[in-house]
A and B are shown apart, each in its own frame.
Chain A
């Protein structure tokens, strides 16, 4: 039952290592979740070489689907959700990728994880992916001892919950009600809600805060757009991106957004200053899903799910060159991604 094992890395195949013109090198690693094989893989950020794999398989006879993954800002720990069956949150030490905790989550389907800047609290939405409107909860989990500190019904099918950099609020993307909801970080009481109008069935999916905590950027999955939303006002601006944007990430300097566009297999680079799509990069992959950016801001890592006939994997984009730096087929139904500076 308590399996978190190293597994072979035979699933990893380097398909076509592209080389950028840049002579710089990005240190660190990325961690990705392979939903259909119940694994987490660790890859070198610069090369895409698979360095480690960890099996997260509480029920070996079932597909449990590791989904969301996030590292704390000091990169000392990383956390991963397992979505199916009875959802769980797993805690690992980055040093040695060692399992140090696991707890059941009071929800139907765990997707993303938002962790406070100080790494003490995680917010996990209860995402039940159905075509009927299901009110879902957000759970606040104290990460030192892995105890639930708050749990509250928020909105229909919340998919992502991210705390503001200053800890003042938690933004929630409510995918079935076309809202972005802001919560009190301690009580999870709703303090403000913004209806995304003008984008019928826009399906807010994932979000990222601006560094000044004055706004959040949210992907509108069915509207092919990203909206900038005020935590106290409404929708500030929107920008069109590729088809079916899922996750997005912000560069460390806060000047650039990268979206993974699931339906057209591309990535969009969006300037946060002008909120203009400055590039749309065809990735040649099936179903881009997750996004992370290296600490030096040079590389963006985009996972792809693959489809039911093909493997998933990761593509690294050289942001300044707007080119694919490497591609690695690894995992199946590859979903979440996070960057860590060391192992």
Chain B
């Protein structure tokens, strides 16, 4: 075990050539850093135990993190950063898997073994790579780092002597996707099939190309697309032109709620319903999330609070109105009687809802989100158990709801449900996005018997919410991670039974929350907590990092940077209605 404390990062390079498999045993040269926070031995002191490790071709690589100080610390997160070629270019799709990703606690004088493996998808370019593994304690920040090195050889194939790009665009608008085709030949010039091509964009900041030769430009200007197979290589220059999208967001009106935290909203006709969340202390004392507020928005510049519905809950996390406008469902969590469940509301007078019934049978752990579609209510039941997850409630007789069916996706809790075209999209946290047939017909499901179509775990997990866009063939998935921070993932579901992640959208600082989409315009509205509301052009094919493609049309931190915490958007009659955790209801107008 190396206990050297230099205070400097010591880097040792050792490149070896490795044949790739789908999951490569890690071949690493590592340099243990001396990122000690305090040279005094009584202070926090962590170190990885090796400076170099010989390449391991077909197995994982294990090493240790030691706590050499005098105090216990934890949890300690282990995160790979800066995974790139040794020349400093980004590597897409390549991943280092670290186990465990978090050490619960590390006592003074003790060590914990860490295992790292490389997951390299087909088409990962041959190169020498480097990454930094960072150990972090929340109260201390970074406590130790180690630099990881490995080299991949993939495109070598003795049979292929030449590769030629045969088709593809030479001019492309920023953010648009073009496809390149290739032909391979042997030394005699005869066509020969080779391994999957390795694609690369030079410089890497100019764009992204996936394993199938689909290219998207990031920066206006010239991008060189390079392909390599065996001994052959070819390239083509692409002129990336500016995307030129823009828009403005202007505040039209607001309905302030300062004494309770505001949760979700739903708009129907000239009425907005806003939920309340958690516990808030204010000049009015301490107020819980036990209320649904009702707003008349006949004059959108001046919403009028017309009514409120008080229920037994500490969180009214969600409200949904049936498309016919006659009925709403609101959710209970933290109820005083421990029964939780839901309350169905009669909206005969939409400005003054009346309670039809409260239903809690098999919903007593709490209901976090809901969706109403026809005579069925889709409910997210709290818990990590086969009896939690999705409950589908038949409300043909709203006075006597009946459980029609249930579904639990396993391994993690269900957080949200979105229903469209006979499909239910379950945001199932670390179990990923799960698509159920509840009447679409693709695999014969019904509300009484939902059948799983497919599932996908987007990178990072923490699948929080989803919006399905049938015309585009995409699902937009929110990853609620306050640490990374969170990301919006784009999943291609043109083949619903084989979803694949194709793009991401990031905004620094905090994490996304709920979404709404203008399908016809191809515009996605993303609530992003302290980052306010973001408006994203998602027209056309989607690939790579959307935040690098000048697709963001507008954004607004409408209540100032200190007081904005945007929870949910809804586009309605040309206006954008927002619920804000801190301040209630906001109404904005987006002008492209």
Q: How far is the CA of A134 from the CA of B365 in the complex (A)?
A: 12
Q: Which residues of chain B come closer than 8 Å to A128, judged between CB atoms?
A: 365, 383, 385, 387-388
Asked if B139 lies at the interface with its beta carbon under 8 angstroms from chain A, I say yes
Q: Looking at chain B, what size class is its interface with the partner chain?
A: 35 or more
Residues of B400-455 contacting chain A, CB below 8 A = 412-413, 429-430
- The closest CB in chain A to the CB of B335 belongs to A308
Q: How far is the CA of A258 from the CA of B138 in the complex (A)?
A: 39
Q: How far is the CA of A308 from the CA of B288 in the complex (A)?
A: 6
Selected contact of B334 from candidates A1, A91, A286, A308, CB within 8 Å: A308
Asked if A130 lies at the interface with its beta carbon under 8 angstroms from chain B, I say yes
Interface string of A89-133 (1 = CB under 8 A from B): 001010000111111000111000000000000000000111110
Residues of A143-181 contacting chain B, CB below 8 A = 144-147
Stretch among B34-42, B312-320, B467-475 lining the A interface? B312-320
Asked if B574 lies at the interface with its beta carbon under 8 angstroms from chain A, I say no
B429 contacts A99, CB within 8 Å?
no
Stretch among A56-64, A230-238, A265-273 lining the B interface? A56-64
Q: Looking at chain A, what size class is its interface with the partner chain?
A: 35 or more
B105 contacts A108, CB within 8 Å?
no
Q: How far is the CA of A309 from the CA of B314 in the complex (A)?
A: 8
Given A101-B105, A132-B362, A146-B104, are A2 and B387 also a contact pair (CB < 8 Å)? no
Q: Which residues of chain A come closer than 8 Å to B364, judged between CB atoms?
A: 129-131
Q: How far is the CA of A333 from the CA of B74 in the complex (A)?
A: 27
Selected contact of B138 from candidates A2, A308, A332, A333, CB within 8 Å: A2
Q: Which residues of chain A come closer than 8 Å to B286, judged between CB atoms?
A: 11, 310-311, 332
Asked if A292 lies at the interface with its beta carbon under 8 angstroms from chain B, I say no
What's the nearest-Cβ distance from chain B to residue A34, in Å? 8
Q: How far is the CA of A108 from the CA of B107 in the complex (A)?
A: 28
Selected contact of B387 from candidates A11, A132, A310, CB within 8 Å: A132
Given A2-B77, A59-B480, A61-B482, are A287 and B278 also a contact pair (CB < 8 Å)? no
Asked if A35 lies at the interface with its beta carbon under 8 angstroms from chain B, I say yes
Q: Of residues B75, B338, B387, which shows the largest number of chain A Cβ atoms within 10 Å of its Cβ?
A: B75
Q: How far is the CA of A61 from the CA of B568 in the complex (A)?
A: 12
Q: Which residues of chain A come closer than 8 Å to B139, judged between CB atoms?
A: 4, 98-99
B334 contacts A145, CB within 8 Å?
no
Asked if B382 lies at the interface with its beta carbon under 8 angstroms from chain A, I say yes
B104 contacts A332, CB within 8 Å?
no
Asked if B336 lies at the interface with its beta carbon under 8 angstroms from chain A, I say yes
What's the nearest-Cβ distance from chain B to residue A165, in Å? 26
Stretch among A80-88, A193-201, A211-219 lining the B interface? A80-88
Interface string of B382-398 (1 = CB under 8 A from A): 11111110000000000
Q: Which residues of chain A come closer than 8 Å to B315, judged between CB atoms?
A: 36, 63
- The closest CB in chain B to the CB of A146 belongs to B104
Selected contact of A60 from candidates B336, B383, B482, CB within 8 Å: B482
Asked if A343 lies at the interface with its beta carbon under 8 angstroms from chain B, I say no
Q: How far is the CA of A36 from the CA of B288 in the complex (A)?
A: 9
Given A85-B413, A101-B105, are A332 and B75 also a contact pair (CB < 8 Å)? no
Residues of A34-69 contacting chain B, CB below 8 A = 35-37, 59-61, 63, 65
A130 contacts B365, CB within 8 Å?
yes
Q: Which residues of chain B come closer than 8 Å to A129, judged between CB atoms?
A: 338, 364-365
Q: How far is the CA of A100 from the CA of B73 in the complex (A)?
A: 4
Q: Which residues of chain B come closer than 8 Å to A342, judged between CB atoms?
A: none
Asked if A22 lies at the interface with its beta carbon under 8 angstroms from chain B, I say no
Asked if B513 lies at the interface with its beta carbon under 8 angstroms from chain A, I say yes
What's the nearest-Cβ distance from chain B to residue A299, in Å? 26
Q: How far is the CA of A281 from the CA of B100 in the complex (A)?
A: 50
Asked if B483 lies at the interface with its beta carbon under 8 angstroms from chain A, I say yes
Q: How far is the CA of A239 from the CA of B77 in the complex (A)?
A: 50
Q: Which residues of chain A come closer than 8 Å to B388, judged between CB atoms?
A: 108, 128
What's the nearest-Cβ distance from chain B to residue A128, in Å? 5
Asked if B279 lies at the interface with its beta carbon under 8 angstroms from chain A, I say yes
Q: Which residues of chain A come closer than 8 Å to B314, judged between CB atoms?
A: 36, 63, 308, 332-333
Given A60-B482, A103-B104, A308-B314, are A109 and B365 also a contact pair (CB < 8 Å)? yes
What's the nearest-Cβ distance from chain B to residue A160, in Å? 16
- The closest CB in chain A to the CB of B430 belongs to A86
Q: Which residues of chain A come closer than 8 Å to B187, judged between CB atoms?
A: none
Q: Which residues of chain A come closer than 8 Å to B62, judged between CB atoms?
A: none
What's the nearest-Cβ distance from chain A to residue B360, in Å? 8
Selected contact of B429 from candidates A2, A86, A93, A307, CB within 8 Å: A86
Asked if A10 lies at the interface with its beta carbon under 8 angstroms from chain B, I say yes
What's the nearest-Cβ distance from chain B to residue A229, in Å? 25
What's the nearest-Cβ distance from chain B to residue A260, in Å? 15
- The closest CB in chain A to the CB of B384 belongs to A108
Residues of B461-488 contacting chain A, CB below 8 A = 480-483
Residues of B368-387 contacting chain A, CB below 8 A = 382-387
B336 contacts A103, CB within 8 Å?
no
Q: How far is the CA of A109 from the CA of B513 in the complex (A)?
A: 24
Given A11-B281, A103-B104, A308-B312, are A86 and B413 also a contact pair (CB < 8 Å)? yes
Q: How far is the CA of A216 from the CA of B513 in the complex (A)?
A: 47
Asked if B117 lies at the interface with its beta carbon under 8 angstroms from chain A, I say no
Q: Which residues of chain B come closer than 8 Å to A61, judged between CB atoms?
A: 480, 482, 511, 513, 529
Residues of B235-285 contacting chain A, CB below 8 A = 277-279, 281
Q: Which residues of chain B come closer than 8 Å to A147, judged between CB atoms?
A: 104
Asked if B290 lies at the interface with its beta carbon under 8 angstroms from chain A, I say yes
- The closest CB in chain B to the CB of A89 belongs to B104
Q: Which residues of chain B come closer than 8 Å to A332, judged between CB atoms?
A: 279, 286, 288, 314
A10 contacts B281, CB within 8 Å?
yes
Residues of A296-314 contacting chain B, CB below 8 A = 305, 307-311
Interface string of A22-33 (1 = CB under 8 A from B): 000000000000
B107 contacts A145, CB within 8 Å?
yes
What's the nearest-Cβ distance from chain B to residue A66, in Å? 13
Q: Which residues of chain B come closer than 8 Å to A131, judged between CB atoms?
A: 360-362, 364
Selected contact of B336 from candidates A4, A93, A109, A305, CB within 8 Å: A305
Q: Which residues of chain A come closer than 8 Å to B277, judged between CB atoms?
A: 63
Q: Which residues of chain A come closer than 8 Å to B219, judged between CB atoms?
A: none
B104 contacts A145, CB within 8 Å?
yes
A1 contacts B482, CB within 8 Å?
yes
Asked if B302 lies at the interface with its beta carbon under 8 angstroms from chain A, I say no
What's the nearest-Cβ distance from chain A to residue B313, in Å? 6
B72 contacts A63, CB within 8 Å?
no
Asked if A3 lies at the interface with its beta carbon under 8 angstroms from chain B, I say yes
Q: Which residues of chain A come closer than 8 Å to B74, judged between CB atoms?
A: 91, 99-102, 146
Q: Which residues of chain B come closer than 8 Å to A3, judged between CB atoms?
A: 138
- The closest CB in chain B to the CB of A61 belongs to B480
Selected contact of A287 from candidates B138, B336, B480, CB within 8 Å: B336
What's the nearest-Cβ distance from chain B to residue A97, in Å? 12
Asked if B147 lies at the interface with its beta carbon under 8 angstroms from chain A, I say no
B336 contacts A308, CB within 8 Å?
yes
Q: How far is the CA of A145 from the CA of B288 in the complex (A)?
A: 38
Asked if B60 lies at the interface with its beta carbon under 8 angstroms from chain A, I say no
Q: How far is the CA of A308 from the CA of B483 in the complex (A)?
A: 31
Ordered nearest first, which 5 A-B pairs have the shortest CB separation? A101-B105, A1-B483, A101-B74, A2-B138, A103-B104
Q: List 29 A-B contacts (CB under 8 A).
A: A11-B279, A35-B334, A37-B278, A59-B482, A61-B480, A87-B384, A91-B74, A91-B105, A100-B71, A100-B105, A101-B72, A108-B383, A108-B388, A109-B365, A129-B365, A130-B383, A130-B385, A131-B361, A131-B362, A132-B387, A134-B385, A145-B107, A287-B336, A308-B311, A308-B312, A308-B313, A308-B314, A308-B334, A308-B336
A residues within 8 Å of B by Cβ? 1-4, 10-11, 35-37, 59-61, 63, 65, 84-87, 91, 93, 98-103, 107-109, 128-132, 134, 144-147, 286-287, 305, 307-311, 332-333
B residues within 8 Å of A by Cβ? 71-75, 77, 104-105, 107, 110, 136-139, 277-279, 281, 286, 288, 290, 311-315, 333-336, 338, 360-362, 364-366, 382-388, 412-413, 429-430, 480-483, 511, 513, 529
7 more CB-based (< 8 A) A-B contacts, given A108-B384, A147-B104, A310-B286? A1-B481, A84-B382, A87-B384, A128-B385, A145-B107, A307-B336, A333-B279
